[in-house]
Structure 1
Amino acid sequence: MTATPPPVGSRGNRREGLLTEPAPRAANRPVQRVVEVLAARPVGAYVELTLAAPEVAERAEPGQFVAFAVGGPTSAHLLRRSIAIAGAGGGAVSVVVAPHGPGSTWLAALRPGDTVDVVGPLGRPFPAAPAGATAVVVGGGYGAAALVGLAAQLRDRGHPVAAVTGAASADRLCSVDQLSAVAGAVAVTTDDGSAGRRGRVTDALADLLGDAGVVYACGPMPMLRAVADAATAAGVPSYVAVEESMACGIGVCMTCVLPVVGEDGRTRFSRSCTEGPVFGGDRVRFADVGALPWDVVGADAMGVVAP
């Protein structure tokens, strides 16, 4: 890692302006179970898996994730694959898998009747919206699936809900119909214009921020940064479920750390799997992800000095 100066708009290691509250801790402890795959269906470029996991389902809250053992009992794929929970209820949990590497490709190939080892629910959930606030949920690619349960929860608690979902192309959109069923309005964007409005999710978000009381987002890191920046500039609190590689999912390996501004205004490396995956959008120092900021707590002990 290389040392970097603080982000623009900082005084020392405290950002000026809005600082959202940290996400709440999960109320229930996770469990580890070998569960049966109830259903597997293609969703555009992705695969949705439904699992018979009642103990996970009854504990899960929107924003949390599960961690899968991949490859079977004799596999060399030792690290678990962490995937956001897309739905939980009726004794079942659903996730949307994007086949990419060997682990996610193995998961996407599971069929009804197969079994898989899963740990969950893990991580901190999305916090509640301010009383009476209009909520905007913003999903990128398959990250939109993780926002359906949140949107339904917000609606049931009396919040007006609007949704934005976007992707590079139409086949990489996800959960448009499900979001349409629970949100008052849904805006769809694609980079290539193959569905909805041509452009980025932030183009559609700009039209909604004037009435928004809070923004929630899940998707690729560049999108989360853009959404958080737009919300902060408009004076609207935001919460993002970060997409970082989580090797263990339980806070042991430290591979998923991000520089995050704490309640005391000081920056620390926070574990996405335990302190997250949900963070206040203006607390994550996106520009310094993958670097070692000079003002992070403990940087001096590592020989990093201020520029």
Structure 2
Amino acid sequence: MFLCYYFSSLFYPVLLERKDRDGYMCTSKRFDKSYKIISNKEICAGYFELKIKVDAVSRYCYPGQFFMIDIPEVFLRRPISIHCIGKGTVSFLYSVVGRGTKILSEMGRSSGSVISRRGEGKDGCDEIKMLGPLGRGYGLTSNASSKFLSCVSFDSYEKKSCPKSRDISFNPVIVAGGTGIASVHFLATKLSRKGILCYGVHSKKDLLCLDKFKKMGWEIVISTEDGSKGYRGYITDVLSENLKAGDTLFACGPIPMLKKVLRIAREKNIKGFVCLEEKMACGIGNCQGCAVKINGENKLTCKDGPVFEIKDVEL
């Protein structure tokens, strides 16, 4: 385990964007360094949005990718999906579920005139060390980037550099469960067309990012297991009625939800992509600890994914 952590800190040199032997686009660059924390706000009970100043690194981030975040007093880094990209910034949306995320939630947060001492860096600002961006995102899977992303190249976020897709038949449907909304929000900001968001959580207090999707003009379907808002039950119970022939499906959430999403998509012959959530130790494929079955072969979620085509995933 120590070797996994050690080697993950070594493999951060520039990697030029290229295609691997399977024809998939690989990430263009990844970095292993410390960054300043801009803010770390609790947006609702138990959920936080962490915003980091990364400068040029933001130009190399694709929807679906993630960073391995180094948390003080915790041995292994934590993989967290990219939630939002700004000019020179990257944001993460996460929930406090254990000791690691509890410590993370305390970094960079003010308490009166006192700033958390954890990870304190230059100029009195908290810093955090991260490795990334990592993995294949939605724009890095085969035949994907030019088909549905409004930005074929992410080297600039200026509007003049982002040609819109001419595929007028593209109708996106996003399915998110719990904190899976964090990953697909970044995706939604870069899709060439607006569509339907199907979002399932346990209770209305767990609903996140709805205002952001509304501002972007997305139609929203909500389900809660306790019936406190929207449909009472699972989001997969109402997914079929919101899918039609020709839609492109994007899904991120817990494995039980994804299993049902895959079954429904195949029954209705719907194409699309899923972003898998797996525990990771290194994030770059050295430890082999996040293997999944893809098209009859063992693949690594961190390196070959986390985004895979629906037709290939076996759960």
Q: TM-score range by the shorter chain?
A: 0.7 to 0.9
- Aligned match of 1:227: 261
Distance 1:183 1:280 in 2: 26
Secondary structure of 2:196 counterpart: strand
The offset of 1:152, in angstroms, is 2.1
1:142 matched to 2:174? The reply is no
Q: Deviations over 1:42-83 (max 9, x none)?
A: 233311100111233111010100110111xxx3x2211000
Q: Give the match's secondary structure for 2:181.
A: helix
AA aligned to 1:285 is E
Partner SS state of residue 58, structure 1? helix
Question: Take 1:245 and 1:23, find their aligned partners in 2: how far apart are those partners?
Answer: 26
Question: Does 1:53 find its partner at 2:65?
Answer: no
Shift in Å at residue 194 of structure 1?
1.2
Q: Which residue in the other structure is 2:287 paired with?
A: 253
Most deviating of 95-104 and 83-92: 95-104
Aligned-residue identity in percent: 30
* Alignment CA distance shift 1:224-1:43 (3 Å): farther
Alignment of 1:80-119 (within 5 A): 80-112=77-109, 113-119=125-131
Deviations 1:168-217 (A, max 9, x none): 11122221111222243111111111122212111232122115521001
Normalising by structure 1, we get a TM-score of 0.78
**One-letter code aligned to 2:197:** A
Residue in structure 1 matched with residue 307 of structure 2 by the alignment: 278
State the shift of 1:101 in Å.
2.0
Kept in 1: contact 2:188–2:194 (CA 8 A): no
**Which residue number in structure 1 is paired with residue 18 of structure 2?**
none
One-letter code aligned to 1:53: V
Partner of 2:232: 198
> Which stretch of the first structure deviates more once superposed, 123-132 or 142-151?
123-132
**What is the CA–CA distance in structure 1 between the aligned matches of 2:131 and 2:64, rounded to whole Å?**
15
* Alpha-carbon distance change, 149 to 24 in structure 1, aligned in 2, over 3 angstroms: farther
CA deviation vs aligned residue, 1:126-145 (integer Å, no higher than 9, x gap): 13456321000111111112
Q: How far apart are the structure 1 equivalents of 2:101 and 2:133?
A: 19
Cα deviation code 1:66-124 (max 9, x no counterpart) = 110111xxx3x221100000011211100012111222221122125321101111100
Q: Specify every segment of 5 or more residues in structure 2 that has no aligned partner in the other structure, as ranges.
A: 1-21, 110-124, 139-143, 149-166
Name the SS for the 2:60 alignment partner.
Answer: coil
Aligned residue for 1:32?
A: 32
Kept in 2, the 8 Å contact 1:58–1:89? The answer is no
Normalising by structure 2, we get a TM-score of 0.76
Contact 2:245 2:268 in 1 (8 A): no
Partner of 2:277 in structure 1?
243
Select the structure that is richer in helix: 2
Indicate the residue corresponding to 2:13 in structure 1. none
Aligned match of 2:17: none
| Residue in 2 that maps onto 1:125 | 137
**Residue-pair matches, total:** 253
The answer to whether the Cα contact below 8 Å between 1:41 and 1:49 also exists between their aligned partners in 2 is yes
**Letter paired with 2:258:** L
Distance in 2 separating the partners of 1:226 and 1:34: 39
1:152 aligns with 2:189: yes
RMSD: 1.8
- Of residues 83-92 and 40-49 in structure 1, the stretch that sits farther from structure 2 once superposed is 40-49
2:201 maps to 167
Instruction: Report matched runs for 1:8-27 at 5 Å.
Output: 24-27=24-27
DSSP 3-state at the match of 2:288: coil
Comparing 206-215 with 252-261, greater Cα deviation is found at: 206-215
